[in-house]
């Protein structure tokens, strides 16, 4: 029986975004209602899909009822369902925060937001590598407008760097896809896995080159060093709800690396087997170092949070780079924690910055904030969660990751750099908190050069999105057993491509892949 809910996370933002465009000149309240209704509906749909994926096999949705591998196919497994649900919840909270006033800075904000979700959700669901390119482009085109939302010189400069780099990445993506199609004659990822396993040795160099070209593109999306320098400015200067939503965009790159290089270039891939074994772990560790250095050296809370995104990507891919089932499961446990907590810190930083009229989020003394207790508690909760201290979810997820990589050859490096990065994070956030909440100027200090300006008075609706994001951390601890069980099942599907291929192509098509690898 066809499960039409699978297409919902793609179709609903597409239709709602189009409807919002038609209402561009209508009162903004109408666009807010349409956008929030869409995000809430997608959250309900993805929650159902997550429950279904946990209880059943991998599901597919074939558009137009064309037979695979010729038609466009969407694939829902545990990992993609989890990523869809994370995106849906995060988008709802970010849009609720933006509706407090940020969305007034540009009349196309709500339409771009929906098209952004369309691209992200499509990237998680697609089973076709060319349609992965298509959804990447939808995601990126929308993000260009969102990065520049509100205008300003700093945003424009950061946005131009972001646009130019991604345009180059898109061009390279097509080159890699073209080589794969020329040699293997298919774009369906499950079919690519089968044909890669049977590819002749004379095509090995070109197939490996295509795989490395695609890795460069995915590394750009994930912000791996040296392709991460666009991120601090792009995330640091854009509006807070956009930066918070973008916390999941780098995870799209992580997801695609995990999907493509376990499915198409995994252990069963013949001439393409183990393509990233020698590359991913060193690149991730260097990225982790760069992220930690940026966190320690930044003098602005927004930029510290941007570098925390880079640090989290390095941590995730360092663990994934061992390509062990248990390590991948641990990374899947850590992924929702780091996505939600960095997003929460972007919102908390914005709440703090709006109450510091002179310094903003810069780490220099300023007049006291208007809600020191409330903002102090939000900042403390975010700092403890991101720093990986008990009893919140970051501590347990990091312990799990470190324990699962203990038998890896790179374990000493992973342990040292992950723990060192966590220490630098705590030092940096502790320094930021002391400057913001303790190193204060008198409220009427004439040295500020301007009259004392009134600070905004926050209502519960203003702090609600950030508070909900922070509450997710103890919830992840409470349901830690279920999440861990789910993560191990998801890792099984990822690390063993036979499950994916059988779901998309049927059981007969996985036999050549098993036989080519000496399986039974």
User: What is the SS3 assignment for 265?
Assistant: coil
Given this model, what pLDDT does residue 369 score?
Answer: 81
Q: Which residues pair with 300 in a beta bridge?
A: 362
Distance (Å, rounded) from C-alpha 286 to C-alpha 321?
13
Contact 340, 90 (CB under 8 A): yes
Q: Which of 293, 477, 253 is nearest to 385 (CA)?
A: 477
Contact 367, 358 (CB under 8 A): yes
Given this model, what pLDDT does residue 151 score?
Answer: 66
pTM over 0.85: yes
Contact 223, 309 (CB under 8 A): yes
Q: Please provide residue 263's backbone torsions phi and psi, each rounded to the nearest 5 degrees.
A: -90, -60
Q: Which residues pair with 188 in a beta bridge?
A: 128
Distance (Å, rounded) from C-alpha 24 to C-alpha 31?
8
Contact 394, 337 (CB under 8 A): yes
Q: What is the distance between the terminal CA atoms of the chain, rounded to a whole angstrom? A: 30
| CA-angle at 415, arms to 412 and 420, nearest 5° | 120
Given this model, what pLDDT does residue 512 score?
Answer: 56
Given this model, what pLDDT does residue 519 score?
Answer: 44
Average pLDDT, consecutive stretches of 10 residues, N- to C-terminus, the chain (520 residues): 88 94 89 94 96 90 82 92 96 94 85 94 93 92 84 75 85 92 92 89 92 92 87 86 92 93 86 86 94 92 93 94 92 95 94 84 82 90 91 91 89 92 93 86 56 72 93 94 93 88 78 49
Element of type H or E holding 76: strand 73-76
Given this model, what pLDDT does residue 452 score?
Answer: 58
Distance (Å, rounded) from C-alpha 42 to C-alpha 279?
37
Given this model, what pLDDT does residue 356 score?
Answer: 82
Given this model, what pLDDT does residue 491 score?
Answer: 93
- The 3-class SS string of 5-24 reads HHHHHHHHHHHHHHHHHHCC
> Which runs of consecutive H residues, i.e. helices, occur in 99-152?
109-125, 129-147
Query: What number of other Cβ atoms are within 10 A of residue 409's Cβ?
Result: 9
Task: Tell the burial category of 449 from Cβ atoms under 10 Å away from its Cβ (0-12, 13-18, 19+).
Answer: exposed
Q: Which residues pair with 474 in a beta bridge?
A: none
Buried b (16+ CB within 10 A) or exposed e, 478-513: eeeeebbebbbbbbebbbbbbbbbbbbbeeebbeeb
């Amino acid at each position: 029986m066809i499960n039409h809910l699978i297409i919902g996370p793609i179709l609903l933002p597409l239709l709602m975004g189009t409807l919002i465009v038609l209402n561009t000149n209508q009162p903004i309240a109408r666009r807010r209602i349409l956008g929030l209704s869409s995000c809430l509906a997608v959250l309900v749909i993805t929650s159902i899909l997550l429950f279904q994926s946990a209880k059943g096999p991998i599901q597919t949705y074939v558009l137009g009822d064309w037979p695979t591998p010729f038609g466009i196919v969407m694939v829902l497994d545990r990992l993609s369902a989890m990523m869809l649900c994370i995106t849906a919840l995060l988008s709802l909270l970010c849009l609720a925060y933006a509706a407090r006033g940020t969305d007034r800075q540009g009349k196309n904000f709500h339409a771009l937001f929906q098209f952004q979700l369309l691209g992200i959700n499509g990237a998680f669901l697609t089973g076709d590598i060319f349609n992965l390119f298509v959804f990447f482009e939808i995601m990126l085109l929308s993000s260009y407008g969102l990065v520049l939302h509100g205008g300003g010189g700093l945003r424009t400069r950061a946005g131009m760097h972001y646009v130019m780099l991604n345009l180059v990445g898109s061009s390279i993506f097509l080159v890699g896809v073209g080589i794969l199609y020329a040699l293997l004659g298919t774009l369906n990822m499950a079919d690519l896995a089968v044909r890669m396993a049977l590819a002749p040795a004379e095509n090995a160099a070109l197939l490996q080159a295509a795989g490395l070209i695609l890795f460069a593109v995915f590394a750009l999306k994930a912000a791996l060093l040296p392709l991460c320098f666009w991120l601090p400015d792009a995330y640091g200067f854009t509006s807070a709800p956009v930066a918070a939503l973008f916390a999941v965009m780098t995870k799209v790159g992580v997801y695609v690396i995990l999907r493509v290089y376990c499915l198409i270039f995994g252990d069963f891939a013949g001439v393409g087997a183990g393509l990233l074994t020698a590359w991913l772990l060193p690149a991730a560790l260097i990225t982790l170092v760069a992220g930690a250095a940026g966190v320690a050296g930044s003098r602005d809370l927004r930029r510290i949070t941007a570098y925390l995104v880079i640090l989290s990507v390095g941590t995730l891919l360092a663990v994934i780079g061992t390509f062990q089932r248990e390590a991948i499961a641990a990374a899947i446990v850590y992924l929702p924690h780091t996505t939600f907590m960095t997003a929460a810190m972007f919102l908390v930083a914005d709440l703090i910055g709006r109450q510091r009229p002179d310094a903003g989020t810069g780490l220099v003394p300023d007049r006291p904030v208007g809600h020191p207790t409330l903002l102090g508690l939000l900042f403390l909760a975010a700092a403890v969660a991101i720093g990986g201290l008990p009893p919140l979810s970051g501590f347990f997820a990091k312990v799990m990751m470190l324990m699962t990589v203990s038998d890896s050859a790179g374990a000493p490096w992973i342990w040292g750099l992950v723990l060192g990065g966590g220490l630098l994070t705590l030092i940096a956030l502790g320094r930021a908190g002391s400057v913001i909440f303790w190193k204060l100027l008198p409220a009427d200090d004439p040295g500020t050069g301007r009259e004392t300006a009134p600070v905004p008075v926050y209502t519960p609706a203003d702090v609600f999105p950030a508070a909900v994001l922070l509450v997710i951390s103890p919830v992840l601890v409470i349901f830690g057993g279920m999440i861990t069980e789910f993560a191990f099942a998801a890792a099984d599907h990822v690390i063993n491509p036979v499950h994916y291929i059988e779901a998309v192509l049927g059981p007969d098509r996985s036999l050549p892949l098993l036989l080519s690898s000496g399986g039974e």
